[in-house]
Structure 1
Amino acid sequence: MVDIFPYFPSMLLVFVRVTSFFLMMPIFSYRTIPNAAKIGIGFFLAWIMIYTIDAPVLEIDGTYFLLIIKEALVGIFVGFIAYLMLSAIQIAGGFIDFQMGFAIANVIDPQTGAQSPLTGQYLYMISLLFLLSVNGHHLLMDGIFYSYQFIPIDQPWIPFGDEGLAEFVVKAFNSMFIIAFQMAIPVVGSLFLVDVALGIIARTVPQLNVFVVGLPVKIGVSFIVLFIVMSVLMVVVSRLFETMLETMRGLLSLMGGL
């Protein structure tokens, strides 16, 4: 067994990066998970990882505190990118809710404590279960483990002033909205055709109160279309997971100066 005491400062840095990653990443950042459990998982992960990565022997000095800030920023940024890509599911649900008339009825998101759309929260929960079923949480942990190949522990700086890093984050934000639109377009497009049909009916049959009939018709059509395209949505979600991992890898490469 390797003596852990000389590597204890390095293990604390690993612990800071892992726990900062837990603050933002999907699943583990849920407020329903006790903080003691998050800290315990992060500590044991750091203990395991310190034996597998090429950890240097560090001294606790002024540079060490800069390394602590750097590790926290790395964990938060990587977790934020992972959460940003999965937010496309809730945004797609927001598009669908706005068209079907559920925009005023929101639910509390247990992860953030903020209000989120009904359909978005429903699709998000299914996507998280799908992520767990394909061991996506293991891939997320692999991402934070292999981050040390891009950003070593003793690297004291991150090139935040690099325009490539800002451009990459903006492109990731843009791709998230594109994926959300692609997920929502089957239901939103169908409801647009329903609106056109209701508009034609309102002009041809003035005696029919379209405002009373239109809302239940739109809700029923949206549920039917959601039931039909659910399998296609899961295919898009699986590709979203791939995009999320590729985005995490690209961000780590830029932050590591590679």
Structure 2
Amino acid sequence: MVSILENFPAFLLVLMRVSAFFVTLPLFSYRTIPNTHKIGFSFFLTWIIFFTLEVPVIEIDGQYVMLILKEAILGLLLGFAAYFILTAVQIAGSFIDFQMGFAIANVLDPQTGAQSPLIGQFLYTFALLLMLSLNAHHLLLDGIFYSYQYVPIDQLFLPFGDENIADFIVTTFNSMFIIAFQMSIPVVGSLFLVDVALGIVARTVPQLNIFVVGVPIKILVSFIMLILVMGALFLLMEQLFEMMTYTMRSLMELFGGTQG
């Protein structure tokens, strides 16, 4: 029977991966959640995960420092992969803001402390609420739970030199921008047609001040289009959640060396 002290180094490794995961994970890493809650949730989730694993006896030596660094990097990367996919909503909002004329009026996101576009923050809030209503945050927790099936606790290194990882990152980056473009194209395309119409009016009726009339018209058209396509935006957000879990699983498979 292995004693508690012999299991303690392995428990610290699990705690390191879970804690690092919550540092970059969407929704769980935000400033609005107290740090005591994050630490407590990480500890109890680590406690649950630890007793479901068949952990080997790990000694505290020179390799243990490498294991701690590996667990911290893996947890940060898994959480960042989910956050990276969800930023497609804010990128779509920045595309819309640029056409509306709101690009200069960024707001401070109280959850992350970063500057965020107006429409991007509006859509991002809806995305978080949709994620909670669909229980997609449970899939994020499943990601860290099942990560030990792909990357064992005693695996010493992560294969960052693998070309498949670089190819996967580029492909994911491309897919995220495609979804962001799909979310923004109805509004951006409508505003492009409004710009064409205003240009024609400016040439045919030079007495009319287009710069005064054009801005409120573009804002009005933007909000009307947002109301009309909001249902389609929610469908694209659901695709984002599926892509988020797929990205985390594929990244774990590559780090664990189970995908060619």
TM-score for the superposition, normalised by structure 1: 0.97
The answer for the alignment partner of 1:20 in structure 2 is 20
Q: Which structure 1 residue ranges, 4+ long, deviate > 6 Å from structure 2?
A: none
Alignment of 1:136-155 (within 5 A): 136-155=136-155
The answer for the alignment partner of 1:229 in structure 2 is 229
The answer for the alignment partner of 1:164 in structure 2 is 164
Give unmatched runs, 5+ long, in structure 2: none
Alignment of 1:103-182 (within 5 A): 103-182=103-182
- Please tell me the residue identity of whatever aligns with 2:104: I
Question: Once the two structures are superposed, what CA deviation does each residue of 1:100-130 show, in whole Å capped at 9, x if it has no partner?
Answer: 1111111111233121100000100110011
- Please tell me the residue identity of whatever aligns with 2:44: F
Q: Distance in 2 between matches of 1:193 and 1:215?
A: 14
How much does 1:3 deviate? 5.8
The answer for the alignment partner of 2:89 in structure 1 is 89
Identity score, percent? 66
- Please tell me the residue identity of whatever aligns with 2:30: Y
Q: Distance in 2 between matches of 1:53 and 1:195?
A: 60
Mean CA deviation greater in 179-188 or 49-58: 49-58
Question: Once the two structures are superposed, what CA deviation does each residue of 1:202-236 show, in whole Å capped at 9, x if it has no partner?
Answer: 11111111100000000000000000000000000
The answer for the alignment partner of 1:213 in structure 2 is 213
The answer for the alignment partner of 1:244 in structure 2 is 244
Alignment of 1:188-203 (within 5 A): 188-203=188-203
Q: Distance in 1 between matches of 2:59 and 2:153?
A: 13
Q: Distance in 1 between matches of 2:13 and 2:216?
A: 56
Question: Once the two structures are superposed, what CA deviation does each residue of 1:140-182 show, in whole Å capped at 9, x if it has no partner?
Answer: 0000000000000000010001111111112111111111111
Q: Distance in 1 between matches of 2:138 and 2:52?
A: 17
Matched residues, number = 258
Question: Once the two structures are superposed, what CA deviation does each residue of 1:50-87 show, in whole Å capped at 9, x if it has no partner?
Answer: 11122112111111111000000100111111000000
Secondary structure of the residue aligned to 2:116 is strand
Mean CA deviation greater in 169-178 or 75-84: 169-178
Q: Distance in 2 between matches of 1:255 and 1:62?
A: 22
Secondary structure of the residue aligned to 2:51 is helix
TM-score for the superposition, normalised by structure 2: 0.97
How much does 1:4 deviate? 4.1
